[in-house]
Amino acid sequence: MEYVYMILFAVNDAGPARYIAHIVRELDGIPYICLASDISSKIFDEFNIEYIVDENSIDISKIGLIFTGTSLGWCIDKRWLEVGMEMGVYTISIIEHWSLYKKRFEIGSGRYIFPNSILVNDDLAKREAIEDGIDERLLKVVGNPVLENIERGDYSYRDGVIWRKSLNLPIDRRVVTFISEQYRDDFPIGSKEYVGFDEFRVLDDILNSLNGRDTLLIKLHPEESRDKYSYLLNRYRDIKIVDKVDIKKLITFSDIFIGMGSMLLLEASLT
């Protein structure tokens, strides 16, 4: 079958990129373009999905559907919702989490940009989105392909030893994994989104709870820099910081798994 138009996927953040990666894998010949940011490109690399970063190379006349992620602040997600509205192209956005439903579409103080349709995970997400002020007519419950495609890891003890050695983790210590996110920047103290803690406060609590047989493994979010927690390496011996890691093995071989609001917590509970 020959297709006249293409799908444009525009995604800024890591979570939506993982969601969209599962969709792209099922397109079966339907032409598409993935427009990525520095953050989402890391996820597309993991899934071996081709993408572009230069939006000036996109011929909008060939785009029949714009499919975006959602994130806070101005980014390529909102930029291409705006283009879709201007050009009369149908737009769809995903909310892959259970939080900040309306905030994701804010483009300024009290100003919002919404797509033609918004895909949410379940009935709870739909109810919460409506309560948050999103028009019910925009919302479609479709599930979450990331959570629906979780595979249990069938690993041996030897696999765990190899994994620890690959990350220079001691064999005889508990691995306490912390899934970091940029809470201090995204939900600052004094803002209405502040949740009562941030990643630095949580880390302090974790460090104060460790004992001599623990190693702390900090998994960075794709939007975090490698040197974010470098100050800790000078204070504590048993800390490792990683950015790229096999998520399935990370979940399986961590003795304790700690996060704040990451979808990885839900993935771990389903593994």
In this structure, are 108 and 44 located in the same domain? yes
> Are the C-beta atoms of residues 183 and 224 closer than 8 Å to each other?
no
The helices-and-strands tally (H runs, E runs) of the chain is 11, 12
| Segments in the chain below pLDDT 50 | none
DSSP letter, residue 166: H
In this structure, are 12 and 141 located in the same domain? yes
Alpha carbon distance 271, 132 (integer Å): 31
pTM of the predicted model as reported, rounded to 2 decimal places: 0.88
> Are the C-beta atoms of residues 215 and 174 closer than 8 Å to each other?
yes
In this structure, are 64 and 19 located in the same domain? yes
Q: Closest by alpha carbon to 95, among 76, 67, 74?
A: 67
Provide the CATH number for the domain around residue 66: 3.40.50.2000
* Structural domain of 28: 6-148
Predicted pLDDT of residue 5: 87
Predicted pLDDT of residue 259: 96
153-187 residue pLDDT tens:
789 999 999 999 999 999 999 999 999 999 999 89
Q: CA torsion 195→199→200→206, rounded to 10°?
A: 100
Q: Which of residues 109, 128, 148 is at a domain's end?
A: 148
Residue 1 in any domain: the answer is no
Predicted pLDDT of residue 1: 59
Provide the CATH number for the domain around residue 163: 3.40.50.12580
Q: What is the CA radius of gyration of the chain?
A: 20
Alpha carbon distance 243, 158 (integer Å): 23
Alpha carbon distance 17, 11 (integer Å): 6
DSSP characters for 106-124? EEETTEE---SEEEESSHH
CA geometry: angle 11, 119, 104, nearest 5 deg = 55
In this structure, are 211 and 246 located in the same domain? yes
Sheet holding 214-219, edge to edge: 239-242, 214-219, 174-179, 256-258
